[in-house]
Amino acid sequence: MSVAFGLAVENFTPQEREPSMDEMVGYATRAEQLGFRSLWAWDHLFLGARRPFPFHESLTTLTVLAAHTRHVQLGTGVLVLPIRDPVLLAKVTATLQTASGGRLLLGMAAGWYEREFDAAGVPFKGRGRIFERNLEILHRLWGEDGVTGEYDQTRLRNVRMLPLPQPRPKVLIGGYVDRVLKRVATRGDGWITYFYTAESFSQAWAKIRDFAEEAGRDPDELSNVAQLPLCIADSYEEADRLVRRYVDDYFDMAPWSESTADSAIRGTPEQCAEQLAAQLEAGVQHAVFAPFDYRLEQIERFAAEVWPLLQSAPAGSVR
């Protein structure tokens, strides 16, 4: 069964709490010991006014975690690319890729929080075009020894950003609407999605693969990551109640997407394994869990009680 499991880290919290770097380090090291493949930091510079969320910056968070882990991949889920200076971002991510031994995965999206764009001095309405411009600059600076080109106010004159990252970070593009799914198929290494049911995931992933074929690209070259809430409890009813409260406290679902708390993997270990099997059958290759309240007990239970049920499933039953 060629599936990977990862975990989101608590680099942001509701207003009444603050994220703890020490707690994230402990969580990350235990996750690696248990065999989780990846750790993912959320990304905003700030979020919320009446209901603000304390946030630790994503790449700084991953740098700290890189220093305390050895093998686990490190991802952003997702980095808001248009509000980042692409030249500075290229250098920071290339350095983190080198320092971590090539473990960086960059989930990126065009963003949605307009106040963040206003504060960064970036036009909100032009964010799709700026995303594509910034991504082109990143790819060139990561891959070319000597870059010349003009991109709006950015002028590159035989810029040599050495050392080049080896390999360059993979880029997984997040988004929901067809024009973004086409961008995934033609400009990214894959897709990262957020709180999609198995049915919604299957439909969107099929679109991406079709768009890739239409563009003359092998769809099997693309990979995917599905971010999902997780709550293991003694009954479905208890887990459903807890995970819906958790999702309401921490997360927003874009009204133009199919993101929903109904995507949560929840219930008894057997029920969680069944729901997760449906996600894998839909085509999910890398499931990243946001466990209930980021409790270590949840990831311990997943490793001890849910994972073995998937590993013992008959060949082909979850793919």
Position 1 confidence tier, pLDDT thresholds 50, 70, 90: very low
Tens of pLDDT, residues 297-308: 999 999 999 999
Q: Rounded to two decimals, what is the model's pTM?
A: 0.94
Domain map of the chain by residue range? Answer: 4-311
- Number of residues that this document lists for the chain: 319
> Residues of the chain with pLDDT > 70: what percent?
97
| pLDDT tens digits for range 114-171 | 999 999 999 999 999 999 999 999 999 999 999 999 999 999 999 999 999 999 999 9
Helix/strand number for the chain, H first, E second? 11, 11
Tell me what pLDDT residue 107 has. 98
4-311 topology per CATH: TIM Barrel (3.20.20)
Q: pLDDT tens, 51-110?
A: 788 999 999 999 999 999 999 999 999 999 999 999 999 999 999 999 999 999 999 999
Beta strands in 175-260 (DSSP E): 190-194, 223-232
> Could you tell me the pLDDT band of residue 255, with boundaries at 50, 70 and 90?
confident
| 312 band by pLDDT with thresholds 50, 70 and 90 | low
How far is it, in rounded angstroms, from Cα 220 to Cα 212?
A: 9
Q: What's residue 315's pLDDT? A: 38
Closest CA relative to residue 287, chosen from 268, 301, 273: 273
Q: Which of 51, 78, 70, 130 is nearest to 288 (CA)?
A: 78
For 303-309, the CB contacts below 8 A with 24+ separation are 303/34, 303/35, 303/36, 305/232, 305/269, 306/232, 306/269, 306/272, 306/273, 306/276, 307/5, 307/35, 309/269, 309/270, 309/273
Q: Which two tokens stand for residue 19?
A: 């994220």
At 301, which helix (H) or strand (E)? helix 296-301
Average pLDDT, the chain: 94
Distance CA 175, CA 53 (A): 22
